[in-house]
Amino acid sequence: MNYKRINDSINPLDKEIMQKASEKWDNIAKPVGSLGELEKMLIKISGMQNQIVPDLSNRCVVVSCSDNGITRQGVAMTPSEVSALMTDYISQYKSSVGAMAKTNNCDVFTYDCGLFRHIVSPDIFDCHIASGTNDMTLGPAMTRDQAEKMIQNGIDLIGDLKEEEYDIVATGEMGIGNTSTSSAVASVLLGLDVEQTTGRGVGLSDEGYQNKINAIKKAIMINAPDPADPIDVLSKVGGYDIAHMVGLYLGGAIHQMPVIIDGVISAVSALLAYRLCPKAVYYMLPSHLSPEPSCGLALREMGLRPVIDAGMRLGEGTGAVCLLPLLDTSLAVYKNTITYKDLGF
């Protein structure tokens, strides 16, 4: 895949539209800039959609689900079987993200990108590429071709969603062990020690946390991923869920679709997309700051500022979906509030 060509083809945000949107905000009868990052985010979306008043009516969350071979090293407290079980519940709107999505008029699309137990269900979209990644402490997690195939799946999906007239897409994931893969990717891309990029995931003990760090260090040492080659990093120490989300961010940029970043796994996927195609960041929207250290590190590297800091670490796209009501209420102010002109100024 020619990522330079993709990057060159990405349209910049419409600065004229953004200027007009900014002027409209400044004319609303309230202190200028008083909705802070939410104003900036809606102005950015105006530039993405090439319209002064953004349209967020049709929205969905894409949940990329896969398993990770590194779980065989005991890096997670939760057994890998939970990935497939939760994927099934997510597809039926019975998980946390389903409840949140219903409340926010948001469709949920669930994708099996590489679960250990392949699920055949009318509610789950099949882009199953393998039954989990390989144990990256023993060798590469996947082949380069597998990584690029999954990225292409994500790109194509955004194209399909654009044709179905969705206005905005939230990202999410499900896969036991993926805080280990995302920490490994972040460590290599950012040139930081594993200890700086790795959190405890779901409540690891001190002993479990040290085991996780040792496993990630071993994976990086054995595979020697090249930080200057994002696909090499992804294929050697990443996951299929991460690869799929990389494609979602690239697809968003290609098709001028706003794509919301969720937590740490989503943020690291966004960082990979950014390293492949720097212009892709134009179409990314940060949602929340996960306590996992790689989340903030990845967002800062891309110059993105999350608007929610609530200590959330659930996954599934829950943080990304939480951004939607904030955008909705801000858009209501933007569209319906009296202006200084109405007040006679």
Active site residues: 316
Please enumerate in sequence order all residues whose Cβ is within 8 A of that of 19, keeping only pairs 6 or more positions apart, or say none: none
| Helix residue ranges per DSSP H, 50-163 | 81-91, 96-103, 144-163
Query: Which DSSP helix (H) or strand (E) runs through 45?
Result: helix 36-49
3-state helix vs strand vs coil in the chain, percent to 5: 55, 10, 35
What is the residue whose two structure tokens read 């599934």? Answer: 316
The alpha carbon of 46 is separated from its chain's Cα centroid by a whole number of angstroms, namely 20
| Of 285, 67, 247, 73, nearest in space to 158 by CA | 247
Distance CA 79, CA 261 (A): 26
Of the CA atoms within 13 Å of residue 110, those in its CB half-sphere come to 29
How many C-beta neighbours within 10 Å does residue 8 have? 10
Q: Across the strands, what pairs with 223?
A: none
Distance CA 94, CA 309 (A): 25
Quote the tokens at residue 115.
């679960």
Q: Across the strands, what pairs with 107?
A: 60
